[in-house]
Structure 1
Amino acid sequence: MTKTLLKAPFKADHVGSFLRTEPIKEARKAFANGQIDRAALKAVEDKEILKLVQNEIAAGLKSITDGEFRRAWWHLDFLAGLDGVEEFETEYISHFQGAKTKNKAIKVVGKVDFNGHYMIEHFKFLKEAVDKYGDGSQVAKFSIPSPNMLFTRIQGDEYYNGNKEQFYQDTVAAYQKAIQAFYDAGCRYLQLDDTSWIDFVSEERIQAIVEKEGQDVKDIIATRVNCLNDAISKKPEDLLITMHICRGNFRSTYITSGGYDVISDAIFANLNVDGLFLEYDDSRSGDFDPLKRFKRDNLTVVLGLITSKFAELEDAERIKQRINEASQSIPLENLALSPQCGFASTEEGNILTEEEQWNKIRHVVSIAESVWGTI
């Protein structure tokens, strides 16, 4: 029997995270203070996620997420749930332009592996909600950090003691198991979030990573391509996997600026993902020239032309104009539209209101319908 392949990313899509609601914030604070137990916290999260799913459907979205409502971080929560990885308190190092995150990081303390993960249950709850409230045209989408966020962003390599090849192989194997586990739970749309590509957006960052790794920049890029490709190499045919590239998203700030020029061949020709979510909301992301490297007719490039950082709505005609510009390099049918990032990559969230957030989502849907006649 032929498997039905999901037609996504959708023409109006999104990266996944949403502003935490007041009940979520209050419950997490009460839990941290020992005023409620984990079961009570989960009950609040469940209730708010059910509301969120209904709001996403009402806004016209087809890809439905849980908003990452159960997470503090877009990446650390998942990575610390892998075997051999722990979260820890670290000395504060500011990476963002004028904003301070919490002092958290991850380290490897044992063999990296996957033998179950609590987020599988998070996905199952989401899928049940989508099945309950949707009309059959929506799909439950789940986001996890790319394997590169472990292999290239690790602090405290205590277990592998410099054996990068073994660390690589174990990371890839763990992700292969994780991807299969999400699939077995019913996931058909998985997104890998990857900020490691910002190492190549400017000469300053390239020089720093070359000095750190002691390798040529092409070899470093190739390793990251291989890490992701190897991790998804055993995915089932009807599981769609996309990747989101970000330059940082915390309290409406960012880490760095620069275009996709150096990694254009890597991401447009060499990565075996089904879709790419690219930041393009302002000049931080460079111009559309790298899109000329597009070579795969089975790849969807999702243009993040709507910002999640600020409330002001972009001029719809200008967004349509930019989509048209991009279509000079990539066929229109291979393009889609989304915000450049989530609204809350961490539980603190960006600096806008929930209503302003939904205005942004409805704006994406409206423009996509106008350009493609569908979402």
Structure 2
Amino acid sequence: MDIASLRRSRVDQVGSFLRPEWLKSAFLAHARGKLPLSELEAAQDRAIAELVAKQRALGLPFVTDGEYRRLNWQVSFSAVEGWDLWPGTWEAFLKAPSNMAEGEQPNARGLDTVVSARTPATARLRLADSFPLKELRYLRDIAPDLPAKVTLMGPDRVCQMCDVAGSAPHYADGDDFLADVVAIQRRMAEELVAAGCSYLQLDEPSYTGYVDPATLARMTERGEDPLRNLRRAVEADNAVIAGLAGRVVTGLHICRGNRASMWHREGTYDAIAEAVLGGLRFDRLLLEYDTARAGGFEPLRFLPKDGPMVVLGLVTTKSGEVETVESLLRRLEEAGRFVDLDRVALSPQCGFASGIGGNLLPESAQWRKIEVIQETARRMWG
């Protein structure tokens, strides 16, 4: 599939899939010092190969590695000197299942780890190793004929996770820190494209912070201007992909939290729609729309006429209840009141496993949801 066709694909998938239980166990054994890294990587290779075969059989327009090498989605920005999340991520992972008996299978909540505390920079940031580049290379090795999608944590989310005040003397303010994050992610993006990435997606759950009352209150308490931060975030995301048009499909995903089937923020798109939907320069915008928390489709009117495809995340990854084709078609028709359906695609609202534990649904439901998305797309667009 060429770049132009991939850009207009009617079916999408945010990135992660549920990990097999045996792969979770391999991670845990490695964390406890009972499995060498080489054997963990061999397990990851096997799991990814099986996942790619499943995606190929279903005829998906691209393949991902399911984020099977990651403890959580934030790992994409982990090997960065001066602000390295990797050690803290493994520490959190070990604490989560500490009450498990020897040989006990981990469950979704017990293994789902995320580093959410604000971390100060200990030096000026420098990319030590591109974790997503390693992911891509294996994906290209086993499926050289299929378009490959890779996800990166967006720069504004990285900035929201930094204790900027505690980062002195290395960084004077958030602008200074964000500039280095953008430079690093820009380099990562260029390397991924050069290595054969067909579809590059930034994950920016940070945007819903600008409509969530609790998050806005915390920003104000820190003396931050949320509106200024929002504009800065749009500029940062655009800067990461500047100049990549025509070389790779670019996407940006927005959600309200997804760890272990939970949600973390509330608020509709209305207050940020003009700045975000009208300001981002991506090929595809993937928007969570599986519950009333996202509000109505009215904000879609702010999409520029010649702007991006909008990928509506109408299918939830938070439960095993499978949507019907008829219900999805009705929601698409409703969205069509505010955006030309020729510019619309369909996807789950988020990944199926933002953390290694995954969401609370069986694998069978995961794949049935993908099949329903495909059937709905065929019914709507042919």
* Fold shared per TM-score above 0.5: yes
Give, in whole Å, the separation in 2 of the partners of 1:17 and 1:165.
Answer: 31
Cα gap change, 1:51 to 1:283, in 2 (>3 Å): same
The question of whether the paired residues in 2 share the 8 Å contact of 1:19 and 1:350 is answered with yes
| Equivalent in 362, 366, 370 of residue 375 of structure 2 | 366
In the alignment, structure 1 residue 123 sits paired with structure 2 residue 136: yes
Name the residue aligned to 1:351: 360
| Equivalent in 274, 285, 292 of residue 283 of structure 2 | 274
Measured against aligned partners, the alpha-carbon deviations of 1:49-68 in whole angstroms (never above 9, x if no partner) come to 00000111222311210000
Alignment of 1:134-153 (within 5 A): 136=145, 138-153=146-161
Measured against aligned partners, the alpha-carbon deviations of 1:301-358 in whole angstroms (never above 9, x if no partner) come to 0000000111111132121011111112111111000000010000010011111111
Amino acid in the other structure paired with 1:142:
V
SS in 1 for 2:170: coil
Per mean C-alpha deviation after superposition, the further-off stretch among 278-287 and 107-116 is: 107-116
SS in 2 for 1:49: helix
The question of whether the paired residues in 1 share the 8 Å contact of 2:346 and 2:377 is answered with yes
In the alignment, structure 1 residue 252 sits paired with structure 2 residue 261: yes
Name the residue aligned to 1:73: 72
In the alignment, structure 1 residue 45 sits paired with structure 2 residue 44: yes
Per mean C-alpha deviation after superposition, the further-off stretch among 201-210 and 49-58 is: 201-210
Indicate the structure with greater helix content: 2
SS in 2 for 1:251: helix
The question of whether the paired residues in 1 share the 8 Å contact of 2:3 and 2:248 is answered with no
Amino acid in the other structure paired with 2:302:
R
How high is the sequence identity, in percent, across the aligned residues?
32
Alignment of 1:1-375 (within 5 A): 5=4, 7-8=6-7, 10-75=9-74, 77-87=75-85, 89=88, 102=113, 104-105=115-116, 106-114=119-127, 116-131=129-144, 136=145, 138-155=146-163, 156-158=166-168, 160-215=170-225, 217-235=226-244, 237-373=246-382
Measured against aligned partners, the alpha-carbon deviations of 1:37-59 in whole angstroms (never above 9, x if no partner) come to 01011111101100000111222
Measured against aligned partners, the alpha-carbon deviations of 1:96-126 in whole angstroms (never above 9, x if no partner) come to xxx7864735442221233542331211111
SS in 2 for 1:242: strand
CA shift, 1:154, in A, is 1.3
Give, in whole Å, the separation in 1 of the partners of 2:3 and 2:345.
Answer: 21
In structure 2, the gaps of 5 or more residues are: 93-108
The question of whether the paired residues in 2 share the 8 Å contact of 1:301 and 1:334 is answered with yes
The question of whether the paired residues in 1 share the 8 Å contact of 2:79 and 2:128 is answered with no
Amino acid in the other structure paired with 1:10:
S
* RMSD of aligned alpha carbons: 2.2
Amino acid in the other structure paired with 2:35:
I
Give, in whole Å, the separation in 2 of the partners of 1:4 and 1:281.
Answer: 28
Give, in whole Å, the separation in 2 of the partners of 1:166 and 1:294.
Answer: 30
CA shift, 1:4, in A, is 5.6
Give, in whole Å, the separation in 1 of the partners of 2:71 and 2:277.
Answer: 31
Give, in whole Å, the separation in 2 of the partners of 1:293 and 1:104.
Answer: 34
The question of whether the paired residues in 2 share the 8 Å contact of 1:194 and 1:243 is answered with yes
The question of whether the paired residues in 2 share the 8 Å contact of 1:9 and 1:302 is answered with no
Give, in whole Å, the separation in 2 of the partners of 1:366 and 1:4.
Answer: 23
Measured against aligned partners, the alpha-carbon deviations of 1:54-95 in whole angstroms (never above 9, x if no partner) come to 1112223112100000100101x1222123221254999xxx
Give, in whole Å, the separation in 2 of the partners of 1:274 and 1:349.
Answer: 28
CA shift, 1:203, in A, is 3.9
Cα gap change, 1:233 to 1:58, in 2 (>3 Å): same
CA shift, 1:290, in A, is 0.8
Name the residue aligned to 1:96: none
Indicate the structure with greater strand content: 1
Alignment TM-score, normalising by the size of structure 2: 0.88
SS in 1 for 2:247: coil
Amino acid in the other structure paired with 2:37:
R
Give, in whole Å, the separation in 1 of the partners of 2:128 and 2:245.
Answer: 19
Cα gap change, 1:159 to 1:82, in 2 (>3 Å): farther
SS in 1 for 2:286: strand
The question of whether the paired residues in 2 share the 8 Å contact of 1:176 and 1:235 is answered with no
SS in 1 for 2:124: strand
The question of whether the paired residues in 1 share the 8 Å contact of 2:193 and 2:247 is answered with no
Give, in whole Å, the separation in 1 of the partners of 2:217 and 2:83.
Answer: 29
| Aligned residues between the structures | 358
Alignment TM-score, normalising by the size of structure 1: 0.89
The question of whether the paired residues in 2 share the 8 Å contact of 1:79 and 1:85 is answered with no
Measured against aligned partners, the alpha-carbon deviations of 1:151-174 in whole angstroms (never above 9, x if no partner) come to 222135355343333222211211
Give, in whole Å, the separation in 1 of the partners of 2:303 and 2:245.
Answer: 25
Per mean C-alpha deviation after superposition, the further-off stretch among 78-87 and 158-167 is: 158-167
SS in 2 for 1:109: coil
CA shift, 1:257, in A, is 1.8
Cα gap change, 1:312 to 1:4, in 2 (>3 Å): closer
